[in-house]
Chain A
Amino acid sequence: MKPSLHIDSPGVFTTIQDLGRPGYQHLGIPPSGALDPVAFLMANLLAGNAEAAPALEISCFGPEISLEADFARMGAAGGDAIIEVSRCASTQIDHIPVGESFYLRRGDQLKIRAVRGSAVLYLAVCGGIVAPPILGSAATYCRGRLGGHQGRALVAGDCLPINLHAEDKKSGLRISGKKLVDQGVPIRTVLGGQSGSFLSSALDNFFGQEYTVIRNDRMGLRLSGQAIKHQHSHDIISDAIPNGSIQVTGDGQPIVLLADRQTTGGYPKIATVISADLPAIGRLSVGSTLSFQLVSQKTALEARRAHVAEFAKLHEFLVPLRRGTTLNSGALMAENLISGVCNGQLAENMQCAL
């Protein structure tokens, strides 16, 4: 039997994601990919992957998964959850916090229950999940039935092939000094394509209030707050929707559009979340509150520069699992655990996905 992860129970909504497939929006295909690319990459680093290999994006309530392989090094990062691992060889049950690497052996079963603090939690396996790339990416886009496992969210009984890797003797890792949950800070934006469709009082209202997320999925976040008035009609001739675009529907409520958004739409767009804050907005789920801050294009660019630089050095937030010892990034590099992260080609791929 091929080495694989067997899905005993899929959880609420679990899909295979990677850093997405930018470059095809002119065909109506959104980029998809991880809603929180930072947590996604962290999960991969914990699992010992040098590359951003296809991993599971878990929302809300997690899956139950059995290992059908001799051995697998795993990593989970993102929302808070306890990973319960029932060991096949004993009656032992281990409780592993998110943000640490761990090991599974044949027949071990992991269970993830409620995911808190973020809309998404990533579960990566060393070597990555094997999914045929569609337009260069394994990301699942459910609405278009593309990518991932048969173009859909996982269901019980699915068997996801994984790349075989030898049992390694490398030390486990944990995340230190990097929070991957909703921080409650204002989301930074620049003005959108139709910000002129709103009176300045409406813009003041938009930037001055606190919103609550009332629905979230991979397409976007539906927000609720005091209604924003359009100056004229709330219908425009449909145009393209950039990632993080905030459109205001007929009832005056905003929708923030995310990775699986429709590529075109006919509501005026008041603002766009700056690229550096896309991971933060991807973490918000029903009940989260947020406010928007208007920043200059210059600030948005500086934030991107800092964000891309940090993304290339996420391994610096990893420390050995054993407490009390420290390991700097140089030592990690020497151990050749995550060396590929600094590979230029990969860094370029990552930039596209951010």
Chain B
Amino acid sequence: MPKPRICFVSDTSLLVEFENLIDPAVNEQVTGLATAVRSGFNIGITDIVPTFRSLLIEFEPLVVDGDDIIDFVNKFFGAGVTEYQTKMLWRIPVCYDPSVACDLARVAHTFRGDATTVANIHSSIIYRVFMLGFLPGQPYLGKVCPELSLPRLASPRPFVDAGSVGIANGMTTIFPVGTPSGWHIIGRCPSKFFDLLSDRFLRSGDHVQFVPISLSKYYASMDELLAAPSVYQSDIPRAA
């Protein structure tokens, strides 16, 4: 792995950038560093925001010296990464039925398939949570199969329902609340998957498997809390 680029982007924030790629190994460096910074500083760090290929560290410069954070980041990479966070595997039920997924029929048509084909392809992969963003608890999951890799809609829809499962630009997501969106909606999850009160939500570096369910199961399990995740065994070789 090449050395990351580290720079101040304000008096209260520092950006650490890795290779300019959407790649699990690059993202693993980001989540690994995020975990290390979180446990490495007791005070003075305000926010740690891991994204696809970079980490934003917001800090209080009157409490912690930004140069000390830079030293910490450099030492972290000098030492070699050995311990990452425990990653969880979430099994998320999704109903792939045109009555709850407005773009499903059209997406199936783009490769002469049907709803079941889309469900099979979409649920065949264990996705990595590359980051959370855009909305509270919204995961960017990837990467999807090439058949399902479509550009965003030319103009966003004014509203998609909470639980909608979308695909766009090689990624898939679930919307935690109703929102305007330019993603193609191919399914709907009945469960609550972002619940601050129960402390149950996805984190960057976790993994997700979608489990197809029937329309009747969808209606029967509306608003249930998502089942607790299991520990995910990483397939990414750990650095020495």
Instruction: State the A residues within 8 Å of B (CB).
Output: 22-29, 31, 134-135, 141, 143-146, 190-193, 237-240, 242-245, 262-264, 269, 272-276, 297, 300-301, 303-305, 308, 351-352
B62, B132, B136: which contacts A305 (Cβ < 8 A)?
A: B62
A349 shortest CB reach to chain B, Å:
11
Give complex CA distance A316, B179 in Å: 44
Determine the interface band of chain B, counting residues with CB < 8 A from chain A: 35 or more
**Given A239-B53, A240-B49, residue A26 in contact with residue B135 (CB < 8 A):** no
Give complex CA distance A242, B10 in Å: 8
**Given A264-B134, A300-B11, residue A26 in contact with residue B204 (CB < 8 A):** yes
Chain B residue numbers with a CB within 8 Å of A141 are 136
Establish whether residues B61 and A269, one from each chain, have CB atoms under 8 Å apart when the complex forms. Answer: no
**Nearest A residue (CB) for B56:** A240
13 cross-chain CB contacts under 8 A: A24-B47, A135-B196, A145-B177, A191-B9, A193-B7, A237-B21, A238-B131, A238-B140, A239-B52, A263-B133, A304-B12, A308-B62, A351-B60
Establish whether residues B12 and A242, one from each chain, have CB atoms under 8 Å apart when the complex forms. Answer: yes
Number of interchain pairs (Cβ within 8 Å): 134
B7 shortest CB reach to chain A, Å:
7
**Nearest B residue (CB) for A190:** B10
B193 shortest CB reach to chain A, Å:
12
Give complex CA distance A275, B61 in Å: 11
Chain A residue numbers with a CB within 8 Å of B93 are none
Chain A residue numbers with a CB within 8 Å of B17 are 193, 239
B11, B131, B136, B177: which contacts A275 (Cβ < 8 A)?
A: B11
**Given A26-B48, A193-B17, A300-B11, residue A264 in contact with residue B133 (CB < 8 A):** yes
Most buried by A among B11, B53, B140: B11
Chain A residue numbers with a CB within 8 Å of B137 are 27-29
Chain B residue numbers with a CB within 8 Å of A297 are 8, 11
Is B50 an interface position by the 8 A CB rule? yes
Establish whether residues A23 and B136, one from each chain, have CB atoms under 8 Å apart when the complex forms. Answer: no
